[in-house]
Amino acid sequence: MMGNVTAILQKIFVRRFYIQNTLFFLVLFYLLFGVVDGGSLISYHRSLMLGFMGNLYFLLLVLALWALYGMKCAGFVLKTFQTQGFEFLYPTLGSVEKPARRRLWLLIHTGIYMPVLVYAGIAVAVGITRGFWLAGLLVAVFNLLACFLPLALYERKLHRPDVTFFTGYLQRWLNRRFVKLPGLYFFYELFTNYPRRILSVKLACAGILWLTFYLLRQTGGFDARGLMLGGMLCVIAHGQLMMQHRAFDDTYLGFLRGLPQPLWRHYLRLAGIYLLLFLPEIVMMAANKTPLSSLTGCFVLAAAMLLLFRSLLYFPKMNAEVHMRYVLLVSFVTLFMVLAGYEWLAASVMVPASAGLFFFLFPRYETYVEPRS
């Protein structure tokens, strides 16, 4: 019986976490493994581990990044309890004896936190071989706390489902003081209910662009194609926000499709959302003294990809896994067009394609319902 409960909870929490964050892990994999030559991959990571194990400031930065990931994991578990359709978790887990329930919490959390545990464990082993005993102890203690401290939050949420955390206070404060425009509803949802999600995406994009500019400087000259490749990875990283956007529209903004407004206004609202969403990346590119022509090309290509990828979600039965396949396929084709110098042609094809899909699918779209397995 307990084994069945464990399997169900693993599917609800761990499996859903990795599916919803597939694009995030894809970008992370690129940053950790894709930018390094295969022959020097082991030596690169050994040097990286010894670098932060032997430097206190570097180690604190790494621990801060791991802490953010831990917050993302804990936030996902807490948000799952508040997600429509998972209300049964309260009586189900509440009926389990406390010692067994704590083991379940630990199993769920470590399953989500596992990528950090694996990398940290290898780093501790490498550091100890070089005599970094204190740093190894600090990393071990930090990750033990990162695994056990969230368990108290889960217990608190289980027994007090109406507890309002910081984002709830922020949400009420904004509601009292500001009248939101329809185009800003989704941003309000992100910053009040999913701040860790948008923060993780923006941090990943900042890391991608920093690495892109670093590699461009190492080659001794600016290449617009290299910058566009970095911009494409940033677009892919926004995939989880697109899934969140569709869920938000389905849950709260379904009435907008029935308003007596022309389709072009709905399309412009969609375009405005994603242009604003990608604005921080454009600001970062501009801050690195990117030529205006290259900056314009990156912005147009990114906007075209964002609109096309979001418009694909108006297809019925388009879940996260199928959507990711289309995203990777389109990105693969676009990659070769960019390398060949045809980025404007790629954008000129994707913008009409996104508009065509939107104008055809939007009036017929019905709220997506995840099929039950």
How far is CA 187 from its chain centroid? 15
What one-character DSSP code corresponds to residue 87? T
Can you give the pTM of this predicted structure? 0.60
221-277: pLDDT as tens digits: 677 888 888 888 889 888 888 888 888 888 776 667 767 778 888 888 888 889 988
140-191: pLDDT as tens digits: 999 999 988 888 888 887 776 655 554 555 566 666 666 666 667 788 777 7
- The residue ranges of every structural domain in the chain are 1-163, 165-367
Give the residue from 32, 76, 24 showing the smallest Cα distance to 324: 24
Those residues with Cβ within 8 angstroms of residue 73's Cβ, 6 or more apart along the chain or in another chain: 17, 109, 112, 113, 150
Length of the chain equals 373
